[in-house]
Amino acid sequence: MAPQTISIHYHTTRFLPQPDVFIRTSHGTRIPAHAGILASMSPVFDNFIDRPRKHRSSERIIQIHGVPCDAVTAFVGFLYSSRCTEEEMDKYGMHLLALSHVYMVPQLKQRCIKGLTHRLTTENVVDVLQLARLCDAPDLHLRCMKLLANNFKAVEATEGWKFLVKHDPWLELDILRFIDEHETRKKKSRKYRMEQGLYAELSEAMECLEHICYDGCTHVGPYDAAEEKRERTPCGRFATCQALQVLIRHFATCEKKVRGGCVRCKRMWQLFRLHSYVCHHTDSSCKVPFCRQFQLRMQQEKRKDDAKWKLLARKVASAKVMSSLSLPKRKRDEETRVNINNPGIRSFKLL
């Protein structure tokens, strides 16, 4: 049976002479093409076409086997037009990626990587992953691994995974190792976010403590607070202000704190102590209660837990900086002006 020759309508405005090379597919179909265009788009075709022929009258034949004829047709069409339709990508995306890699057509390869990334599913991810390894497509390979890690239960039930387990145990091992590392990274990331959230809350508590000692708020304020300021609406500046005022009111009246038996008073002592570590004042100018006493105590006594408190203070200060950088510039400038004009007040009283 004579091979079938098909004609292709190439999307190009250039005048094309008669074809001088034919591409033969697996089923014997011949696709006419032009040596100059193939050579300009692919160095592999260029090397093949430059080879001397045994007979000048013999036709140039390029064999492309192992992929459907329509996929080869779409591949040749891209070499002429640099275009690939969504329908062609849906049907032959994996074949086109393999052809673009083998024949070194980088524009088509990037197009295929992008197209296959958008078409990843739990059903095809194993096949795409194997192809990405063979075709040196690290971005696509990483996307496949992440999809596998996030949807492993669904992928594990597919035929592609079952085939891989039987025939490629090394790749299975790589995938399982990646999933384990992925879960470890997620746990570390969750822990880091929780810690940063805690440091941000402590940073806000430090600012709120200074705000109460300087300005006074709904129920707690400095001794020299103006009488008319006693009646106030709930504070909207800090989310922790009301809770901190309740804690201060309890601290001022609790009888258990002398014996060290009150958990809430211990928490207040810890806030006062943390402030002394983050405070930049080295004399009696700081107006937050017990600040200078804690600082003198640190100088006189080398306590074992000082290093932990200093580390906590650094992390709280860092959280404050990161929080300020995340604010819009106008609000950041306003807070900077408030902090400059806020010297603090030494003592507080219940209003």
- 218-260 pLDDT tens trace: 777 665 555 445 445 667 778 788 888 888 888 888 877 655 5
214-246: b (≥16 Cβ within 10 Å) or e: bbbbbbbbbeebeeeeeeeeebeebebbeebbe
Cβ pair 54, 64 in contact under 8 A: no
Which of 3-17, 21-35, 289-303 is predicted most confidently?
21-35
Averaged pLDDT, 43-52 = 85
Which of 140-149, 300-309, 329-338 is predicted most confidently?
140-149
Q: What is the pLDDT of residue 237?
A: 77
Q: What is the pLDDT of residue 60?
A: 84
Backbone angles phi, psi at 6, to 5 degrees: -105, 150
Q: What is the pLDDT of residue 242?
A: 83
Tell me which residue has tokens 């106008």: 330
Averaged pLDDT, 309-331 = 76
Averaged pLDDT, 24-35 = 89
Three-state DSSP class for 271?
A: helix
Q: What is the pLDDT of residue 310?
A: 85
Cβ pair 102, 71 in contact under 8 A: no
Q: What is the pLDDT of residue 233?
A: 64
Q: What is the pLDDT of residue 222?
A: 64
The string of pLDDT tens digits covering residues 162-205 is: 999 999 999 999 999 999 999 999 999 999 889 888 898 888 88
Q: What is the pLDDT of residue 313?
A: 87
Band (pLDDT 50/70/90 cuts) for residue 11 is: low
Band (pLDDT 50/70/90 cuts) for residue 119 is: very high
Domains of the chain (ranges, CATH numbers)? 1-118 (3.30.710.10), 200-222+235-327 (1.20.1020.10)
Closest CA to 22 of 73, 86, 66: 73
Q: What is the pLDDT of residue 112?
A: 97
pLDDT over 80 (residue 33): yes
Cβ pair 96, 71 in contact under 8 A: yes
Q: What is the pLDDT of residue 19?
A: 86
When mean pLDDT is compared across 132-141, 171-180, 232-241, 312-321, the lowest value belongs to 232-241
DSSP 32: E
The maximal CA–CA distance of the chain, rounded, in angstroms, is: 110
pLDDT over 50 (residue 336): no
Q: What is the pLDDT of residue 267?
A: 87
Residue 160 vs residues 138, 264, 325: alpha-carbon distances, Å = 20, 58, 48
CA geometry: angle 39, 41, 47, nearest 5 deg: 35
> Beta strand pairing status for 21-24 and 61-63?
parallel
List alpha helices for the chain, DSSP H: 35-41, 43-50, 69-81, 86-102, 106-118, 125-134, 138-150, 152-156, 159-167, 169-214, 241-253, 263-278, 291-300, 306-325, 329-340
The whole-chain average pLDDT of the chain stands at 82
Q: What is the pLDDT of residue 231?
A: 43
